[in-house]
Amino acid sequence: MERLILVTGATGYIGGRLISALEHAGHRVRCLARRPETLAGRVGENTEVVAGDCLDAESLHSALAGVHTAYYLVHSMGATSDFAAMDREAARTFGNAARKAGVRRIIYLGGLGDPSDDLSAHLKSRQETGDILRDSGLSVIEFRTSIVIGSGSLSFEMVRALVERLPMLVCPKWVAVAAQPIAIEDLISYLVAALDLPEETSRIFPIGGPDVVSYGDIMREYARQRGLRRWFISVPVLTPRLSSLWLGLVTPLYARVGRKLIDSLKNKTVVSDDCARRVFAIEPRRLRDAIARAITLEDAEQAATRWSDALSAGGLQPTTWGGTRLGTRIVDSRSVVVDAEAGAAFGPVRRIGGTQGWYYANGLWRLRGFIDLLVGGIGMRRGRRDPETLHPGDAVDFWRVEAYEHDHLLRLAAEMKIPGRAWLQFEVTPCDTGSEIRQTAIFDPAGLAGLLYWYALYPIHALIFCGMLSEIAARALQEHGQRVSNLRRNANE
């Protein structure tokens, strides 16, 4: 029988990516989560999800039963209490439970850093966790990494938010400390490849990409690939506390997590032993390729994501003033439910633009088209190919159809002159009382100019978006009424 693999930290960034890779490779997977319901719909149908907590030995008995290899991917960095003490207790509890259950090996992900240095509390805890797992007597494969580059990773999100939002970046000493980042795809490859190592004594593998760089270098490379001009100003002193509060203001990080992360950045995190390159047939990506892939995958995920799944469906008002931040993008999503079947609800969406117009404030739409012409754009003069039908690639005024699903989805990509990229998406979904029409505006600002553009025009956009959706709903009801009347007339004839 295929060996059973347990993944802890399954709801985390690394754990989620690892589960998908293991499933794709055909392994039997069991996931441990304190709240199993959070994994509903996120794992394959053959993947088992069990409830358990690494701090609760009793909960681990059934979770570890029959397990050959266990991935240990948990940490307590977000805890408000003593996270290092919690990490020690969790590792000790898990290691002992795994030994009693007959687990053959633990694969653990830790952090790079020379143990002889004055390591930060976070890095010290990461390495101490590996020591405790080895003390269980089991074979432990420990990978030690530096910065992980990937769309959605903590470090990459921090870099992206700083570079996107600030034209001038104040750089304390930690921005220049050497690190050896690794792409998320390469990290996952190492974790999966460890399954094929001979069952022998424990090993520690420092891993990283081929480039030794600093956070400053990563920010400069990200800015270059995004076409953003940024100025970097070095300052001699900026305490971890001040830096973490600063990050809390301009990035998605919690201040307490930011401080623990910054505390770790004072330490050099480079690979001093190339044993991983000798043991594993893996060639890690260069930094520029890792960043380019992260940006590309963000675009692919954006194109594939149903934005309403991530937003509150609370009526016609946006979830927060100015829109909700998802990655670099700002999303304004609003919906209305109409007493009409999906075909009638989607009819006005299908006919939008061209001679039909945009249903609300058409004068403002024409003014926007005129301004676009003045700045060298295409304006509103293209219209649309056909007043009734649409296909991907069709032009609709200064938009282009990016995705189209009959009676369900229309996504338009903007081709007017704007400081960033924009999409307008409509979705129609049947519901108990008819159909929900969801309208979502998505804007990916290019630096500070893009943010100023969005927030300066947001009151006008909000007025137009709200009015347009209301008019689409009214026309959907009207079309539904006409269809019902036609059916009745045909029945009588």
Q: What percentage of residues in the chain have a pLDDT greater than 90?
A: 47
Q: Does residue 216 belong to any structural domain of this protein?
A: no
Q: Does residue 151 belong to any structural domain of this protein?
A: no
Radius of gyration of the chain (CA): 26
The tally of domains found in the chain comes to 1
Rounded-to-integer distance, Cα 315 and Cα 473, Å: 13
Q: Does residue 36 belong to any structural domain of this protein?
A: no
**What is the four-CA torsion angle of 51, 56, 59, 61, rounded to 10 degrees?**
130
The pTM (predicted TM-score) of the whole model is: 0.68
Nearest to 41 by CA among 11, 6, 70, 74: 11
pLDDT in tens, 352-368: 999 899 999 999 999 99
pLDDT at 305: 44
pLDDT in tens, 25-40: 999 999 998 888 777 7
108 and 141 Cβ atoms separated by less than 8 Å: yes
pLDDT at 263: 67
What's the mean pLDDT in 245-272?
65
**Exposed/middle/buried for residue 488 (C-beta within 10 Å: 0-12, 13-18, 19+):** exposed
Q: Please state the separation of Cα 29 from the chain's center in Å.
A: 23
More confident residue, 356 or 302: 356
pLDDT in tens, 58-116: 999 999 999 999 999 987 655 545 778 888 999 999 999 999 999 999 999 999 988 88
| Minimum mean pLDDT range among 59-73, 303-317, 385-399 | 303-317
Q: Does residue 24 belong to any structural domain of this protein?
A: no
pLDDT at 434: 92
**Which distant-in-sequence residues (6+ apart) come within 8 Å of 87 by Cβ?**
75, 76, 125, 126, 128, 129
pLDDT at 243: 62
Is the pLDDT at 309 greater than 60? The verdict is no
pLDDT in tens, 177-204: 899 999 999 999 999 999 999 877 789 9
Is the pLDDT at 313 greater than 50? The verdict is no
3 state DSSP class of 242: helix
Q: Does residue 375 belong to any structural domain of this protein?
A: yes
CATH for 420? 3.30.530.20
pLDDT in tens, 212-247: 999 889 999 999 998 888 888 887 765 555 665 566
For residue 147, report the phi and psi dihedrals to the nearest 5 degrees.
-75, 135
Q: What is the mean pLDDT of the chain?
A: 84
Element (H, E) at 492: helix 447-492
**Which distant-in-sequence residues (6+ apart) come within 8 Å of 136 by Cβ?**
92, 95, 96, 98, 99, 106
| Minimum mean pLDDT range among 56-60, 307-311, 427-431, 467-471 | 307-311
The CB density around residue 368, as the number of other CB atoms within 10 Å, is: 20
pLDDT at 262: 66
pLDDT at 255: 44
pLDDT band at 351 (very low <50, low <70, confident <90, very high): very high
pLDDT in tens, 123-171: 888 899 999 999 999 999 999 999 999 887 878 877 887 888 778 887 7
pLDDT band at 312 (very low <50, low <70, confident <90, very high): very low
pLDDT at 159: 84
What's the mean pLDDT in 252-256?
46
**What is the four-CA torsion angle of 25, 26, 27, 33, rounded to 10 degrees?**
90
Q: Does residue 328 belong to any structural domain of this protein?
A: yes
Q: Does residue 352 belong to any structural domain of this protein?
A: yes
What's the mean pLDDT in 439-465?
88
Q: Where are the beta strands (DSSP E) in 159-250?
A: 168-171, 182-183, 203-206, 231-234
Is the pLDDT at 343 greater than 60? The verdict is yes
165 and 265 Cβ atoms separated by less than 8 Å: no
Q: 483 lies in which domain range?
A: 310-492
DSSP 275: H
